[in-house]
């Protein structure tokens, strides 16, 4: 199996599909239909995790994909930080494969670092999973620059990249060197929470939607504020983003965000929004 992998600039995040941290089956049919709508309008990258609804998010993606050609889609999943010991990580990957009803995961990430488990042990398992064909590429998530450098050194295949909170109104990866390191080493930054600022997970995912500069630019070019914020990320080299929606109209708008045209003058205004 080829280890080449290129993510679309805009994919679909799957947090809250199937529940929060615990499974919720009450909307299964609706959410499978939402995923299949996303397939039909052109989404090809879906980002899930064993943490999301304790695996039920993965199950829903597997159900939605069962009548589609698996190789047409890119699946990212993530292993819990509690499961980073060698045997635990191998078992976690097998569970995810079962939930997803697939023989391989395109991109498998360490969801959060765990100082209690040596990274060397985790990568021994990850490297084995690549060798066995169960995963195509290895990545990490929420790693700071020193940890990212360490992970890159331990991965026997080129480390794919780092999934982090990065947005128009939250620029930490720019300031701490993570973005530059990824560019210099041909790695990808996958930006989650593309509409949020740094207020944390409890805040509404709408900071960019309420920003007056974003609103003014959106109105001027007949776009939505969300499209402006997503486009700001998608136009950057080595950056992709994964907005989440189960609403058909918003799915379409998010995917089309990469096609809107923002003037260099307005890009400069957007660049100046966060410091």
104 is a catalytic site residue: no
Q: Nearest CA to 195 among 218, 159, 165?
A: 165
Q: With contact defined as beta carbons under 8 Å apart, do 123 and 154 qualify? A: yes
Among the options 17, 43, 52, 192, which is catalytic? 52
Outline where the chain has alpha helix (H). 28-41, 56-65, 86-100, 119-132, 145-154, 172-175, 178-184, 212-220, 225-234, 248-256, 264-271
Bin 7: left if φ > 0, else alpha if -120 < ψ < 50, else beta: beta
Please give the Cα distance from 168 to 171 (Å, whole number). Answer: 7
Q: What share of residues in the chain are helix, strand, coil (percent, to 5)?
A: 45, 15, 40
What is the set of active-site residues?
52
């Amino acid at each position: 199996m080829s280890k080449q992998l290129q993510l679309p600039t805009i994919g679909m995040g799957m947090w809250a599909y199937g529940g929060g941290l615990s499974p919720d089956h009450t909307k299964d049919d609706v959410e499978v239909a939402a995923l299949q709508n996303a397939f039909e309008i052109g989404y090809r990258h879906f980002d899930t995790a064993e943490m999301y609804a304790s695996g039920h998010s993965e199950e829903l993606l597997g159900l939605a994909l069962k009548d589609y050609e698996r190789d047409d889609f890119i699946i990212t999943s993530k292993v819990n930080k509690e499961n980073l010991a060698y045997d635990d990580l191998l078992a976690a990957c097998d569970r995810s494969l079962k939930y997803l009803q697939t023989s391989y995961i395109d991109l498998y990430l360490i969801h959060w670092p765990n100082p209690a488990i040596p990274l060397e042990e985790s990568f021994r398992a990850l490297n084995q999973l690549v060798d066995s064909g169960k995963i195509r590429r290895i990545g990490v998530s929420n790693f700071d620059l020193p940890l990212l450098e360490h992970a890159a050194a331990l991965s026997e295949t080129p480390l794919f990249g780092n999934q982090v909170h990065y947005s128009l109104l939250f620029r930490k990866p720019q300031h701490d060197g993570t973005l530059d390191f990824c560019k210099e080493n041909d790695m990808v930054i996958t930006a989650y929470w593309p509409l949020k600022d740094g207020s944390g997970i409890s805040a509404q995912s709408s900071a960019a939607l309420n920003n007056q500069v974003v609103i003014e630019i959106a109105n001027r070019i007949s776009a939505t504020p969300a499209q402006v914020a997503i486009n700001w990320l998608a136009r950057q080299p080595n950056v992709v983003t994964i907005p989440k929606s189960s609403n058909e109209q918003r799915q379409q708008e998010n995917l089309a965000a990469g096609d809107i045209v923002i003037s260099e003058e307005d890009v400069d205004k957007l660049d100046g929004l966060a410091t």
